[in-house]
Structure 1
Amino acid sequence: MYLKGPGTGVAFCLFYLTSYFTNKYVLSVLKFTYPTLFQGWQTLVGGFLLHISWKIGWVEISSSSRVLILLVAAGFLPLYDPQFDTDGYFWALIHLLCIGAYKVYHKSWRPSSLSDSEQQYINYAFSMVVLAFASHPTGDLFSALEFPLLYFYSFHSSCFASGLLGFLLTLHTMKLKSSTSSGHYAAWSLLAKVITAGLSPFFFEIVVNVPTACWYVFCKKIMSFAWWISGSSASLH
């Protein structure tokens, strides 16, 4: 199977991998478990850099079945997860619901007059406002002041890298979407996820039992199959 846009696709996979690993390092290794603040910081950096990119002319801003199978597999994972954490799965559910609501809204409204960069700019602005207001009722705003690594260089550099890599990933995502078909973009996206999932156990401590390992292998097989299907359908066009 031939994938179009190899240079942009490889860069996309690289930034996806490094962005994921950086975020996981901050959340899992440094244990900065305040998602409203961490994601708020990422959207703040992303929005600021996107605004700078617009000013210097880098971007233009005017004034199915396989998914269902993956969702079912993910639904059974908490039953066998030896590292089960209620807060982690709660925020994963919130993330899933927000993404789903956005997809439904995007499909129903179809803002064809807005470019990808304009839509992302609006997303950044909306997310910053929502996360800023959510940080107080969730307790993250004041709890973060007691974070033991708050004044450490490792924490500051990791947060800076997370914001920068997240923006670069967003930038290359928009570039990949504009330069390839939806099928090829889906194939590159799945490839990035498979690579990241395959390398993650070599860099982070993961407690795995037999049922979890079976579900992990099953999900990787499904993702590989979905990648093949996406690439095959794209090649027909």
Structure 2
Amino acid sequence: MQWGRHVAGLVFSCVFVVSCFTNKFVLSVLNFTYPTLFQGWQTLIGAALLLLSGKLGWVEMSRISRSAAVSWLPGSVLFVGNIYAGSRALSHIDIPFFFTLQNSSHVVSCVILRVVQREQKTPWLKLISIGVMLLSAVNLPFYDPQPDRSGYLWAVGHLLCVGAYRVFQVHYKSTNLSDLEQQCINYLFSVLLLAAAAHPTGDLTGALEFPSLRSYTFHCGCCASALLGFFLLLATVKLKSRLSLEHFRVWIFLSKVTAACLSPFIFNMDVNAASLACVIFSHVGEALLVYSERDSHL
């Protein structure tokens, strides 16, 4: 029923916004800038809950074959790059600016497709939309009142991984893996890789000396971020099963706009007219992209 689709969309949007704010709170307000541990914790809890849910029959998951898991490993590598660089960037950049940079990942997807599918012609409206998003992202660092070079560099790595992962996920040839099974592989691979990298990167030593390590607020924030990440996965899969790809993208767009609009009321931000214009134009470009791709598959 139509109302059921709206409810699923609203639930997804609420979980998306709260999850985004919780991650920002832990990374920026509490200043827990140790992504191997933070993302390792999130993916560990996500993997455990997903496997438990599958075992209890709460979600549909089949046994993942070794060949299917190996063939999905490039996607898992991109996923780890996505969450690691994303955490680094989000800890330094305000949420509206983060989404402005993240939107330009569509440029990466478009370039990869043009290289892989040389015969494909890009619609003019889509070219305009990605051009607007690219210009907004490129100009943002120059107009940001408090630019953080490290944050923007990590954001570049994040958007590259997001754009490449989007292409890989949509054009992955195997039909043996569902979205939940793909994410299960991502989680397990992430846990192993991030755990191995915790000591060499110095995150483990730094976390042991973290001032708020025994703080009740810190523990609640970390637990909430892990649980919300899992609930966001379930809400995403549920919404995709109920809606067409076009309407699913609309809900993602609305969720990001909602988070960007509400974040100044939750977190301290320094913004001027020029940087605000970059944010607005980026979302206008994203809206044009959603409209231009209403009949496509990416």
Name the TM-score, length of structure 2 as normaliser.
0.71
- Could you tell me which residue of structure 1 aligns to residue 57 of structure 2? 57
Residue 103, structure 1, aligned to residue 158, structure 2: no
Of residues 164, 168, 178 in structure 1, which corresponds to 2:231?
Answer: 168
Change beyond 3 A, Cα 1:97–1:4: farther
- Equivalent positions of 1:91-170 (< 5 A) are 91-170=154-233
- In structure 2, what residue type is equivalent to 1:92? A
* Unaligned segments of structure 2, at least 5 residues: 64-109, 111-125
**CA-based RMSD:** 2.2
Any conservation in 1 of the 2:5–2:242 contact (CA below 8 Å)? yes
Distance (whole Å) between structure 1 residues aligned to residue 172 and residue 287 of structure 2: 32
Q: How many residue pairs align between the two structures?
A: 231
Residue 77, structure 1, aligned to residue 140, structure 2: yes
Highest relative contact order (Cα 8 Å, sep 6+), 1 or 2?
1
- Could you tell me which residue of structure 2 aligns to residue 209 of structure 1? 272
* Unaligned segments of structure 1, at least 5 residues: none
Any conservation in 2 of the 1:187–1:230 contact (CA below 8 Å)? no
Name the TM-score, length of structure 1 as normaliser.
0.88
Distance (whole Å) between structure 2 residues aligned to residue 159 and residue 97 of structure 1: 27
Of residues 250, 262, 265 in structure 2, which corresponds to 1:199?
Answer: 262
Distance (whole Å) between structure 2 residues aligned to residue 171 and residue 30 of structure 1: 27
Q: Quote how far apart the aligned CAs of 1:143 are.
A: 1.2
Q: Quote how far apart the aligned CAs of 1:41 are.
A: 1.0
Give % identity. Answer: 50
Any conservation in 1 of the 2:8–2:238 contact (CA below 8 Å)? yes
Any conservation in 2 of the 1:44–1:124 contact (CA below 8 Å)? yes
Q: Quote how far apart the aligned CAs of 1:4 are.
A: 7.9
Query: Aligned to 1:147, what secondary structure does the other structure show?
Result: coil
Write out per-residue CA displacement over residues 71-129 of structure 1, whole angstroms, 9 at most, x where no aligned residue. Answer: 33122212222232233223322322222332343344322121111111111111212
Distance (whole Å) between structure 1 residues aligned to residue 186 and residue 21 of structure 2: 23
Question: After alignment, is 212-221 or 158-167 more displaced?
Answer: 212-221
Q: Quote how far apart the aligned CAs of 1:182 are.
A: 0.6
- In structure 2, what residue type is equivalent to 1:186? R
